[in-house]
């Protein structure tokens, strides 16, 4: 059994993927070929914004978004400690300071009430200027953008959505990617819309930010290639990856629905045995992960392993306890909800091609495992 079965998906659309790849081989424009614009236009329309910028990874998408807002030294960027390292790493890379904010115990997303508390603390310490909030749509469910955007507006902050796990999700009828002025997503192969390598995209409603991001993507390019008006990066998406994504996009909506079906089946069978995912009634998750909580998590996953069922832990160590951020002096107890969640959470196989038999086996193993602890 596979944790994510990319081969099943490939089998279904192999001919289309090969045809799209062959087109790139024929035209030979490996860098910024026509597939890039086509994908940007299709995905911008899909999420419902005017502009999209294809980039080299989700990490670059976040980094470039912060660069577009000119975030740097002395700036505080508020984010969740219960996320992938990239969310915090890009803040540090630019010399800014991540200020962590604990999560909601039900959705695992940043807790808006705690954002207000953190802002007050930053103000009272008077060392950093709060500039930006990066909510993360963990496991595929959008963060509470109405609340977060209102706080940001009140305090004059930017909001960058980390939608690396939520492409395809929606919040109050609007698609992830359209919920803030600027949103970053990832096409890492295991994400809901995954390429065959690294890739990402930035979505924005702002023509000005679009211009800036396009320049940052190509070394801060100005009116021509050898006129550089700002410090940028090489942040381009490959034509080949865009070609793969265009093929996968054709079945994407169907896949989001299939994931929802699998999630429903899991939740119905597991909800009386351990804590299943909680999705707010106005949210539709993209189900990047299906994650469960159990106080004896390690014992449960050991039992699953015995039966050949793969699991993963997203994330075993919150960012404030990572050595990479030791200079921020985070310590145990700082973010109790994140720490408790990190100690109890585990994810089980989730992808559109899970069979009913596999799901039954997984459910049986979990319920047996939990009962015999
Ligand atoms: C995957 C991920 C990223 C980084 O994306 P890459 O494409 O791997 O660079 C950032 N944030 C979150 C929450 C992610 O899950």
Q: Band of the pLDDT at 225, cuts 50, 70, 90? A: confident
Instruction: For residue 48, count other CB atoms closer than 10 A to its CB.
Output: 14
How close is the Cα of 184 to the center of ligand 1, in Å? 9
**Residue ranges lining ligand 1, Cβ < 6 Å:** 57-59, 83-84, 86-87, 136, 162, 164-165, 186, 188, 198, 200
User: Options 3.10.20.30, 3.90.1150.10, 3.40.50.300, 3.80.30.20; which CATH number does 252-371 get?
Assistant: 3.90.1150.10
Which residue is closest in CA terms to ligand 1's atom 1? 164
Query: What residue spans in the chain does CATH classification 3.90.1150.10 cover?
Result: 252-371
Q: Which tens digit of pLDDT belongs to each residue from 132-184?
A: 999 999 999 999 999 999 999 999 999 999 999 999 999 999 999 999 999 99
pLDDT of residue 17: 98
The Å distance, Cα 58 to ligand 1 centre, comes to: 5
The mean pLDDT of 2-9, rounded to a whole number, is 96
Classify 127 as helix, strand or coil.
coil
Q: Ligand 1, atom 10: nearest CA belongs to which residue? A: 86
For residues 332-361, average pLDDT: 98
User: Can you give the pLDDT at residue 166?
Assistant: 98
Q: Is 3.20.20.370 the CATH number for 6-249?
A: no
Give the model's pLDDT for residue 228.
94
Confidence of residue 223 (pLDDT cuts 50, 70, 90): confident
* Cα–Cα distance for residue pair 86/102, rounded to 1 Å: 17
Ligand 1 atom nearest the C-alpha of 86 is: 10
Cα 242-238-245 angle, rounded to 5 deg: 15
84 Cα: distance to centroid of ligand 1 (angstroms): 6
Query: Which atom of ligand 1 lies nearest, measured to the CA of 198?
Result: 7
CA of 223 to the centre of ligand 1 (A): 31
Q: Binning pLDDT at 50, 70 and 90, where does residue 8 land?
A: very high
The full DSSP string for 236-291 is: BPBHHHHHHHHHHHTTHHHHHHHHHHHHHHHHHHHTTTSBPP---TTEE---S-EE
DSSP character string of 30-48: -BS-HHHHHHHHHHHHHHT
In ligand 1, which atom is closest to the CA atom of 60? 9
Taking the centre of ligand 1 as the mean of its atom positions, its distance from the CA of residue 122, in whole angstroms, is 27
Closest ligand 1 atom number to CA of residue 137: 13
Locate CATH 3.40.640.10 in the chain.
Answer: 6-249
Buried-exposed string 104-114: b where 16+ CB fall within 10 A, e elsewhere: beebbbbbbeb
Whole-angstrom distance, CA of residue 64 vs CA of residue 131: 15
Q: How many helices, marked H, and strands, marked E, lie in the chain?
A: 12, 12
CA–CA distance, 63 with 95 (Å, rounded to integer)? 12
């Amino acid at each position: 059994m596979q944790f994510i079965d990319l081969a099943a998906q490939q089998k279904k659309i192999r001919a289309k993927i090969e045809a799209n790849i062959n087109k790139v081989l024929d035209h030979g424009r490996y860098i910024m070929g026509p597939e890039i614009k086509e994908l940007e236009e299709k995905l911008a329309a899909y999420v419902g914004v005017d502009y999209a910028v294809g980039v080299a990874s989700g990490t670059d998408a976040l980094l470039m978004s912060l660069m577009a807002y000119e975030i740097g030294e002395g700036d505080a960027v508020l984010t969740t400690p219960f996320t992938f390292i990239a969310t915090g790493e890009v803040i540090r890379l630019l010399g800014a300071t991540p200020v962590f904010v604990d999560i909601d115990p039900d959705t695992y997303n940043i807790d808006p009430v705690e954002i207000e508390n953190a802002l007050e603390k930053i103000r009272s310490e008077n060392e950093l200027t709060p500039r930006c909030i990066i909510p993360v749509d963990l496991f595929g469910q959008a963060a509470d953008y109405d609340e977060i955007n209102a706080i940001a507006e009140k305090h004059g902050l930017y909001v960058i959505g980390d939608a690396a796990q939520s492409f395809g999700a929606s919040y109050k009828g609007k698609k992830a990617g359209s919920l803030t002025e600027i949103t970053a997503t990832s096409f890492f192969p295991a994400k809901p819309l995954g390429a065959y390598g690294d890739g990402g995209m930035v979505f924005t409603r702002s023509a000005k930010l679009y211009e800036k991001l396009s320049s940052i993507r190509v070394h801060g390019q100005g009116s021509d290639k050898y006129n550089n008006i700002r410090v940028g990066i090489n942040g381009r998406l490959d034509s080949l990856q865009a070609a793969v994504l265009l093929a996968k996009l054709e079945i994407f909506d169907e896949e989001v629905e299939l994931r929802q079906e699998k999630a429903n089946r899991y939740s119905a069978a597991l909800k009386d045995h351990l804590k299943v995912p909680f999705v707010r009634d106005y949210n539709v998750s993209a189900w990047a992960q299906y994650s469960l909580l159990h106080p004896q998590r390690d014992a449960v996953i050991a039992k699953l392993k015995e039966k050949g069922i793969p699991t993963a832990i997203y994330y075993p160590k919150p960012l404030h306890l990572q050595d990479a951020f030791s200079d921020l002096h985070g310590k145990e107890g700082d973010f109790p909800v994140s720490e408790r969640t990190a100690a109890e959470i585990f994810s089980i196989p989730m992808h559109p091609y899970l069979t009913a038999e596999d799901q039954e086996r997984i459910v049986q193993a979990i319920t047996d495992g939990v009962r015999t602890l």
